[in-house]
Amino acid sequence: AQSVAQPEDQVNVAEGNPLTVKCTYSVSGNPYLFWYVQYPNRGLQFLLKYITGDNLVKGSYGFEAEFNKSQTSFHLKKPSALVSDSALYFCAVIMDTGRRALTFGSGTRLQVQP
Amino acid sequence: GAGVSQSPSNKVTEKGKDVELRCDPISGHTALYWYRQSLGQGLEFLIYFQGNSAPDKSGLPSDRFSAERTGGSVSTLTIQRTQQEDSAVYLCASSSRAGTDYEKLFFGSGTQLSVL
């Protein structure tokens, strides 16, 4: 079985400040981890992924995420938030074997205030 | 086409009617997925097609839901005898499962289904 938890429904941050959107996962094998973003009135877009290798993954729009196996976490981070980062963010997981469809978290709404 | 195309973009139907939602994936993508996004909820997995393999139907919520993928390309999600709780945005995604796009899903804009 595989599952993802995003413990925060909403994260508020001031423009220019660092942001973190939390994600923890549960899989019985090795995880492949993803972040997707959904801007208002637009489709879901891929941000970044962790398959293997370096635990710090860099993605689109200056975002990065750190895979922490011991804490089963994959938190999304950005050093300096922009108002345009305001959107709905989804973490997703898939095992390296078995079922091949991503399991998504419930989403976290990021609100960046000017 | 350049991206995943879904039609219709909006569908309003009466309770008890059948509906068909269409997805045209990116050319060459072997994997196709259907998800459902209800207001304020995350993405709920419905069904997954990969090449010629038997589809993973484990996410379909009831036997009123079915999907097919013809010729390894276009997919149709059918909901029979629609209920109000079926109201949601139905999202289709495809992936190439190859190269740098391995496991990267490309999503369509979705079909907003409203059951009155």
- pLDDT value, residue B51: 85
User: What is the pLDDT at residue A52?
Assistant: 85
In the predicted model, is pLDDT for residue B87 greater than 80?
yes
| Long-range contacts (CB closer than 8 Å, 24 or more residues apart) made by A82-85 | A82/A15, A82/A112, A83/A15, A83/A112, A83/A113, A83/A114, A84/A112, A85/A19, A85/A61, A85/A110, A85/A112
Report the residue of A32, A44, A48, A58 to disrupt the B interface, i.e. the one with the largest count of B CBs within 10 Å: A44
Q: In A, which residues are within 8 Å of B93 by CB distance?
A: 44
Which pLDDT score is estimated for A99?
Answer: 62
Cβ of A27: how many Cβ atoms within 10 Å? 21
Q: Cα separation of A34 and B76, whole Å?
A: 26
Predicted local confidence at residue A94, as pLDDT = 85
Contact A46 B33 (CB under 8 A): no
Contact A105 B109 (CB under 8 A): no
**To the nearest whole angstrom, how far is the Cα of A70 from the nearest Cα of chain B?**
24
Question: Of B32, B110, B45, nearest to B74 (Cα)?
Answer: B32
B4-41 pLDDT, tens digit per residue, is 999 999 999 999 999 999 999 999 898 999 999 987 67
Burial class (CB in 10 A: 0-12, 13-18, 19+), A20: middle
Once rounded to an integer, what is the mean pLDDT over residues B81-91?
96
Task: For chain B, say whether A31 makes contact (Cβ under 8 Å).
Answer: no
User: What's chain B's average pLDDT?
Assistant: 91
Residue ranges of chain A with per-residue pLDDT less than 70: 96-99
The answer, for A114 touching chain B at a CB cutoff of 8 Å, is no
| Backbone torsion region of residue A51, taken as left when φ is above 0, otherwise alpha when ψ lies between -120 and 50, otherwise beta | alpha
Which residues from chain A sit within 8 angstroms of residue B36, using beta carbons? none
Q: Which of residues 48-67 of A touch B (CB under 8 A)?
A: 49, 51
- 8 Å CB contact of B93 and A44: yes
How far does the CA of residue A79 sit from the closest CA of chain B (Å)?
A: 25
Residue B66 near chain A (CB below 8 Å): no
* A vs B: CB pairs below 8 A: 56
- In sequence order, the β-bridge partners of residue A58 are A64
Q: Over 60: is that where the pLDDT of B1 sits?
A: no
Tell me which chain B residues have a C-beta less than 8 angstroms from the C-beta of A49.
Answer: 103-104
Distance CA A48, CA A100 (A): 18
